[in-house]
Amino acid sequence: MAIDPSRQTVSAVLDDAAARHGDAEALVDGEVRLTFTELRSAVDVAARSLVTMGVRPGDRVALCAPNSGGWVVAALGTLCAGASLVPINTRFTAAETLDVLVRSKARAFVVEGSFLGRDRLAELEGSPLPEVVVRLPFEWPGAAVELPAVEPDQVCDIMFTSGTTGRSKGAMSAHRQSLGVARAWAACGSLSASDRYLVVNPFFHTFGYKAGVLACLLTGATIVPQPVFDVVETMRLVERERITVLPGAPTIFESLLDHPERSSFDLSSLRLAVTGAAVVPVVLVERMRSLFDTVLTAYGLTEAVVATMCRPADSPETVATTCGAPLAGFELRLGEQDEVLLRGPNVMLGYLDDPAATALAIDADGWLHTGDVGRIDSRGYLSITDRLKDMYICGGFNVYPAEVEQALARLPGVAESAVVGMPDARLGEVGKAFVVTSPGRQLTEPAVVEHCRSLLANYKVPRAVEFLPALPRNAGGKVLKNLLRKENA
């Protein structure tokens, strides 16, 4: 069925959801239970509040908060006010957070008061913050002001791919694109108004925000956010809220399946699991099918969100060894060195204020160069075999070694370093740093790790450090990271 282009905005989708599902539960967050009508009203109040605070169409609103009802209302309020949403990783250090605020030129900053033992606003004291700062939880005052019209091609969100170095880029998507990928993901998983979706994936990530919040709005499914994954709390929520949909990284499902108290919880309501972002063993898929009717894997990246996905009828071998076939209007082919290329209506608009990086990522024919190496089988199913980029994935989060190496370079005594991803049973991959010390200087592994911890989000911090007299290089002087990986596999 053709989608009316005029309805391809988040505000229009929210209106439709309230009209169609009215008194059904839209959001459950602890004691907070909002119907779709109530959610629409709460978002309207937040949007009008932001307008009275000075937020205008085209402005950017940065949001740093855990998965919660407050995040949903603030995010949707931002979009209904005509501004662009800039989600910030809650694990970022103050320096990393400030970097995103500066790069995005945010007009407003909505931030959780305290989370995981940290007061992020206090950490930023003395820094140049946006002119509007809202500390959650917050009672939006509302106002009798008119909300601006929102167009499908307006920038909906700017998702930053990394942290504080020049590699950090803000991928921009229009409303029609964010909704397009969310709709395709929901259709592939047969998401419906009878589903109750436990969103463990962080809302600051495209998986939690677009394949989570937006997918639920499009289908009438209930959003049940979980701020931090805790296996016992997850099982308690599944039982209490009769959760049917639970996507996440493979480590989440391993924790569920292996927990000694699993049999004491009623998990029979679960029907759909979607995973990816790491190697998924066939045996894990088979075990997951003892809990879920349907298990799917998918492939995506910030610049395209979700590009390929397995289908419900696929075998465990297919689900474990491929990322599925294209969806959301994407074309798929392999370029030079078997690099995965994508083209379609939902490829990002470009990188914020970075036309040079945009031109490198999207060629003249509209193909997005992903930096991943893959193969495509006779059915058109994609398998990722390697990465042209050095990026690795730790616990579902992308880590760019160059960023870690720049942090290491700021430690006195480090002459040079190389960081690679190494296999890890729980997190998929973790970082290992190979360090060459300056002449006459000595460093210890704890000192190097602690230095990184002071500058980087936890998932970026190397889990191991090895000191070498020199790094292996080719004739051109490039570090041979493949040798470092091979020798430490």
> Is residue 243 classed as helix, strand or coil in its secondary structure?
coil
User: Given pLDDT bands bounded at 50, 70 and 90, which one contains residue 6?
Assistant: low
pLDDT band at 273 (very low <50, low <70, confident <90, very high): very high
Structure tokens at 357: 């990086």
320-370 pLDDT, tens per residue? 889 999 999 999 999 998 899 999 999 999 999 999 999 999 999 999 999
Give yes or no for a contact between 191 and 183, defined as CB atoms under 8 angstroms apart. Answer: no
Q: Could you tell me which residues come within 8 angstroms of residue 115 by beta carbon, excluding any fewer than 6 positions away?
A: 65, 66, 90, 227
Nearest residue to 213 (alpha-carbon basis) of 74, 38, 310: 74
- Tokens at residue 191, please? 């998401």
Q: Residues 382, 370: contact at Cβ < 8 Å?
A: no
State pLDDT tens for residues 177-199.
999 999 999 999 999 999 999 99
Asked whether the predicted pLDDT for residue 475 surpasses 90, the reply is no
Cα–Cα separations (whole angstroms), residue 38 to 19, 73, 140, 149, 247: 11, 11, 14, 21, 26
pLDDT digits (tens, 9 = 90+) for 400-409: 887 898 889 8
* pLDDT tens-digit series, residues 210-248: 999 999 999 999 999 999 999 999 999 999 999 999 999
Residue 270: pLDDT band (50, 70, 90) is: very high
**Contact of 177 with 349, CB cutoff 8 Å:** yes
Cβ contacts of 210-214, under 8 Å, gap ≥ 24: 210/178, 210/181, 210/182, 210/185, 210/305, 210/306, 211/181, 211/182, 211/185, 211/186, 211/247, 211/274, 211/305, 211/306, 212/247, 213/72, 213/75, 213/76, 214/10, 214/13, 214/178, 214/179, 214/182
How are beta strands 368-376 and 382-387 bridged, if at all?
A: antiparallel
The pLDDT of residue 40 is above 50: yes
Closest CA to 444 of 415, 413, 421: 413
**Mean pLDDT rounded to a whole number for the chain:** 92
In three-state secondary structure terms, 267 is: coil
Q: Which two tokens stand for residue 169?
A: 């880029």
Is residue 279 predicted with pLDDT exceeding 80? Answer: no
**Phi, psi angle pair for 416, to nearest 5°:** -160, 165
pLDDT score for 480:
85
Alpha-carbon gap, residue 192 to 202, rounded angstroms? 21
Give the per-residue pLDDT at 164: 33
187 φ/ψ angles, rounded to the nearest 5 degrees: -65, -40
The domains found in the chain, sorted by start residue, are 392-487 (3.30.300.30)
